[in-house]
Amino acid sequence: MGRVTEIKHPLILHKLAIIRDKNTGSKDFRELLEEIATLMAYEVTRDMAVEDVQVETPVAMATCKMLAGKKLAIVPILRAGMGMVDGILKLIPAAKVGHIGLYRNEETLQPVEYFCKLPKDIEEREVIVVDPMLATGGSAADAITLLKKRGATNIKFVGLVAAPEGVAHLTKAHPDVDIYVAAIDERLNEKGYIVPGLGDAGDRLFGTK
Ligand SMILES: O=P(O)(O)OC[C@H]1O[C@H](OP(=O)(O)OP(=O)(O)O)[C@H](O)[C@@H]1O
Ligand SMILES: O=c1cc[nH]c(=O)[nH]1
Ligand SMILES: [Mg+2]
């Protein structure tokens, strides 16, 4: 069964409180989401493989550790997932970025695919799927199904706010996928929004409503 980790670091909690505030505008929303993604990446990459390297310091030779060079891909679910990409790239600039475009049909809440462009060697890469919102879990589950169809086997999901329903759906659909979020909220409302949540992440990020 995939692990579910709520990353409750004080810096993340503080920034999340501001991001939830309905009076926070797009500029601050964007900056905070990027910063939180950087902080979350620190935890998400904790198990990355390292290997010994010899480094000559000004004083002596030292046996040090460097990343073992395992290839990584960050895959945002459009649009809102875009807000987390640069924050992770800051720490892992060599990662490739794939894009999966999905929107939720507002009545059925089912995800509809409209775009998919992935690195050619996606099957060889560790994949980090990012989307700030895990509501019903339909979008994340479909994006991961699509990645598996293209051969990806090592996948993590990183979000900001989840509903318990979304966590349950995603762990059932993809028990091999570890989930990292900053908060698991109370519930979904009748319109499929996370309560208390932060509203529509895509619209707040891009100022479209
Ligand atoms: O877990 P789910 O019930 O599938 O809901 C979560 C999805 O809904 C939002 O996207 P939205 O459809 O609003 O698209 P957008 O990012 O373009 O605004 C969000 O960014 C997730 O992708
Ligand atoms: O609360 C929610 C649910 C889905 N998508 C969002 O952006 N917010
Ligand atoms: Mg949206």
62-112, pLDDT tens digit by residue? 999 999 988 999 999 999 999 999 999 999 999 999 999 999 998 999 999
- What value does the mean pLDDT of the chain take? 97
Question: Which among 53, 51, 52, 39 is positioned nearest to 8, based on CA atoms?
Answer: 39
What is the C-alpha to C-alpha distance for residues 9 and 37, in angstroms, rounded to an integer? 12
Q: Is 201 annotated as a binding residue?
A: yes
Residues 131-137 have a mean pLDDT of: 98
Q: Is 25 annotated as a binding residue?
A: no
Pocket test for ligand 2, best of 29, 109, 200, 204 (most atoms within 8 A of CB): 200
What pLDDT is stored for residue 207 in this prediction?
95
Is the pLDDT assigned to residue 121 strictly greater than 90? yes
What is the C-alpha to C-alpha distance for residues 129 and 46, in angstroms, rounded to an integer? 16
Question: From the CA of 79, which ligand is nearest?
Answer: 1
Is the pLDDT assigned to residue 1 strictly greater than 90? no
What pLDDT is stored for residue 2 in this prediction?
80
C-alpha of residue 127 to centroid of ligand 1, in Å: 19
Question: From the CA of 181, which ligand is nearest?
Answer: 1
pTM for the full predicted model: 0.96
Q: How many CB atoms lie within 10 A of CB 133?
A: 25
134 DSSP β-pair partners:
162
Residue 206 in contact with residue 175, Cβ under 8 Å? no
What is the C-alpha to C-alpha distance for residues 74 and 61, in angstroms, rounded to an integer? 35
66 DSSP β-pair partners:
51
Q: In what order do the strands lie in the sheet with 161-162?
A: 133-134, 161-162, 183-184
Asked casually if ipTM beats, i.e. exceeds, 0.95, the reply is yes
Q: Is 95 annotated as a binding residue?
A: no
* Length of the chain measured in residues: 209
Q: Is the CB of 133 under 6 A from ligand 2?
A: yes
Q: What is the pLDDT of residues 143-190, one digit of tens each?
A: 999 999 999 999 999 999 999 999 999 999 999 999 999 999 999 999
What is the C-alpha to C-alpha distance for residues 139 and 145, in angstroms, rounded to an integer? 10
C-alpha of residue 62 to centroid of ligand 1, in Å: 48
Atom of ligand 1 nearest to the CA of 101: 17
Say whether 108 is catalytic: yes
Residue 152 in contact with residue 174, Cβ under 8 Å? no
C-alpha of residue 81 to centroid of ligand 1, in Å: 9
φ/ψ (deg, to 5) at 195: -115, 125
Atom of ligand 2 nearest to the CA of 194: 1
| DSSP string across 122-138 | GGGSEEEEE-SEESSSH
Per the omega criterion (within 30 degrees of 0), is the bond before 196 cis? yes
C-alpha of residue 181 to centroid of ligand 2, in Å: 14
* Residue 209: pLDDT band with limits 50, 70, 90: confident
Express the helix, strand and coil content of the chain in percent, nearest 5 each.
35, 30, 35
- Choose the catalytic residue: 108, 145, 153, 208: 108
